[in-house]
Every structure is written in C-alpha cells, then in structure tokens.
Structure 1
Amino acid sequence: MDIRKKVQQLIRRHGTNNPERLARTMGINVIYIDLGGSVYGTYLKYKRVKTILIDAERTPEHLRRFVLAHELGHAVCTPDANTSWISAYTLALNTDRIEREANTFAVELLLPDSFIRENEGCSIYQLARLRGVPEGLVELKGIA
C-alpha cells in the first residue's frame, strides 16, 4: 500500500490535512473521553460506524493532533480491524506493521510534501515540532 499516495488523495479530495476536519468529512466520529491507563487513543468500527476515541485526560496536548491522525490512519488503512490502542510505547518505530502504517499515515498527513516545500528554510524536525509529530517518527517521512 502506498500510504503517501493515499494521504495525498485524501488531502486533495477533502481539501484539508487537518485530522479533525478529515474525520468529520469522512463521517468518522471523534470522541474525547477518559480511557484510563496509559492509553492515548483507539479506533473502533461497530456496525459500519467508525469511531475514534482519544483520551482527553492523559494524552499530552502537543500529541493530540498526532494521536488523532494516527487513529485516522487505522480508519483509512485497516478500516475493518479494531486496532490496538496507541500508547506511549507505540510512538516508536519497532511496532508491528499495522501500527507502523498508522504512524506513517499520521506523519504523511501532518507533514505533507507541500508544507515542507513551503517552509524550505526550516528543518524537517522544526516542522515536525510545529505539527506535533514526535521526533522519533520523523524518519517515516523518508527525508530526514
């Protein structure tokens, strides 16, 4: 699966790379609740209804956009799999294929090529910080 191409198509089709707006235009419910534990978010599909749950209590503010983009990646790349929960340990590169795809989707969504071109004077790491992408995942963009 070419995740970069899939993200570019979504951005073109919906006119935004904002994960919250994308979820809304795609008919995916986003709910901010207390999930408990070390959980940041999850994606669920039940009776054809797609839902993203974000832990409003424990997810650091600077990571919320990334967590939402990650869960949106699950909804787009593996829509029929109720995926594992994203927590602090899944924000690393040594996770399984589905988590890596969701991380790659989030990085591509939050750091599209057009944004990087528009900000040539900034490093990829500066741009990642601006967009809430964890530094350890920047290499998924493939240009770090």
Structure 2
Amino acid sequence: MDVQQKVAALIRRYKTDDPFRLAACKNIIIMYSDLGGKYGNYLKYKRSKFIIIDDRRTPESMLSFVCAHELGHALCTPNDNTQWLKTYTMDINADRVERLANTFAVELLLNDGYLAEHLGTSIYTLANCRGVPHRFIKLKKVREGYIKCLTF
C-alpha cells in the first residue's frame, strides 16, 4: 500500500484528516516538551507510541504539519528510531524514513478530498492554510484528473 492509499484509508475509516484526532484514534499519546530545537519527535517505548511536540519553538502555523509528520513515523515506520539513525549512523534509511514521513504529512493535510473541496484555489494557498511548508508541496502525488483543476 502506498502512502496516498494509506492516508485515504485512514481518512475514510476515522472520518477526519486532523492529525491530532487521528493520533487519538490510533492510541498515540501526544506530549509537549522542550526538545531543544527540534519541532517534533516520535518515540515508541515498549508498546506505547508517543508524539512529542516542542510547543515553545514550533510555530503555531506548523503544529498540524509537525504532528502529521510524526504520525507518519508512527504509522509508516513505527519501529525505526530515526533520531538514533541520524545521530549515530550514516544510514541512508534515515533520509528515506524522513521523506516518507514528510510525504505522509503532505498527503494527509493536502489530501484529495480537501483539494476537491477547494478547486481553483492555489495549492500554495491551501498549503499555507494547512501549515505545509512550500518546499514539501512537490511530494504531493496529484491524480491525473486534478491536474487541470489545481492552480500551481
């Protein structure tokens, strides 16, 4: 199952694209703490999953994106300790895992249903509304039928 299909199935099942609500539905605990410069982190301890968000440094406009990114880690690569991979290894999988989490966040926040509700609106405007940094818009997999309707 690719990321876009996984996101679509989640939205269909839980009837929401709100990453905070989805985390609650999946029994993922959201905590807020000073992370010393990182906006968010995902942690699996024993069988519990945690999303930790730095509410001091994370811009309010990006809270949804940060939560969605960490939710991507929790649901797509739940057993990968990305912080350890990046800090202690030169493993290429660290970049792959981060790209996957970013793709998940973009697909969740700029999902096909949301885009269909706002046809004719610039994808950059929609990204601003949802807190998606513009550099990640290119990760959105646009279905062929939407290409003519979306404004880039």
Specify every segment of 5 or more residues in structure 2 that has no aligned partner in the other structure, as ranges: 85-93, 143-151
SS at match of 1:42: strand
Aligned to 1:133: 132
How many angstroms apart in 1 are the aligned matches of 2:81 and 2:21?
Answer: 22
**Counterparts of residues 65-80 of structure 1 (less than 5 Å):** 65-80=64-79
Supply the distance in 2 between the matched residues of 1:51 and 1:16 (Cα, whole angstroms).
Answer: 20
Q: Does 1:6 align with 2:3?
A: no
Q: Secondary structure at the match of 2:9?
A: helix
Distance (whole Å) between structure 2 residues aligned to residue 47 and residue 27 of structure 1:
14
Amino acid at match of 1:52: I
* Local SS of the residue matching 2:39: strand
Distance 1:27 1:82 in 2: 19
Aligned to 1:42: 41
Query: Unmatched 5+ residue regions in structure 1?
Result: 86-94
Structure-to-structure mapping, 1:1-144, within 5 angstroms: 1-36=1-36, 38-84=37-83, 96-143=95-142
Equivalent-residue separation in structure 2 for 1:33 and 1:42 (angstroms)? 10
Q: TM-score, normalised by structure 2?
A: 0.84
Whether contact under 8 Å (1:44, 1:83) holds in the other structure is no
Aligned partner of residue 96 in structure 1, secondary structure: helix
Distance in 2 separating the partners of 1:84 and 1:133: 22
Partner deviation per Cα, 1:10-36 (whole Å, 9 max, x = no partner): 111111110000000100000011112
Q: TM-score, normalised by structure 1?
A: 0.88
Q: For this pair of structures, how many residues does the alignment match?
A: 134
% identical aligned pairs: 57
Code of the residue aligned with 1:26 in structure 2: it is K
Runs of 4+ in 1 over 3 A off after TM superposition: none
What is the CA–CA distance in structure 1 between the aligned matches of 2:108 and 2:125, rounded to whole Å? 16
C-alpha deviation, 1:142, in angstroms: 3.1
